[in-house]
Structure 1
Amino acid sequence: MGLNQLTIIAHNQLGILERILRVIRHRGGRITAINMQLRESNIININIVLESQRPIELLKKQLIKLVDVINIDDEHYSNNH
């Protein structure tokens, strides 16, 4: 079980962070770090470091289905990152 970093770009709509966290919880992810920044035009960047026993691709497929999610990038995370 390795650490992965997800970078999620989404519209800053009421409840979007809660919906993202709910999907991660239901898919068995364990968040170890989270950072959110507001960008221009009511767009947010959410960086999440998490560990999961399931493939990260399955989680990404579920997250991209959320209406306000625009894009998701992932990469393996290391402490030297």
Structure 2
Amino acid sequence: MRHRALPHRPWPPKYIGTPKIYLATVLDAFSRRLLGYAMGEHHDAALVGASLKMATATRGGRKDGTIFHSVRGSEY
């Protein structure tokens, strides 16, 4: 029996011979502006470090009083 496509039904991800690509982003909580991002084949601290490095460069270097908050993820 085939399932019919229904509105508002979740679409399961399909990985058919395609490697996973992970994305790490850094958003400004006030402006919701994307400050930095990085993509990679591994979900690790190096990926997060690269996105933080880009965010720091976007803001013109290190700023005193900047707080980085992660909702989840031990990599952060």
Q: TM-score, normalised by structure 2?
A: 0.30
Q: Which has the higher strand share?
A: 1
Larger radius of gyration: 2
> Which one scores higher on RCO, CA 8 angstroms, separation ≥ 6?
1
| TM-score, normalised with respect to structure 1 | 0.29
Give the structure with the higher percent helix.
1
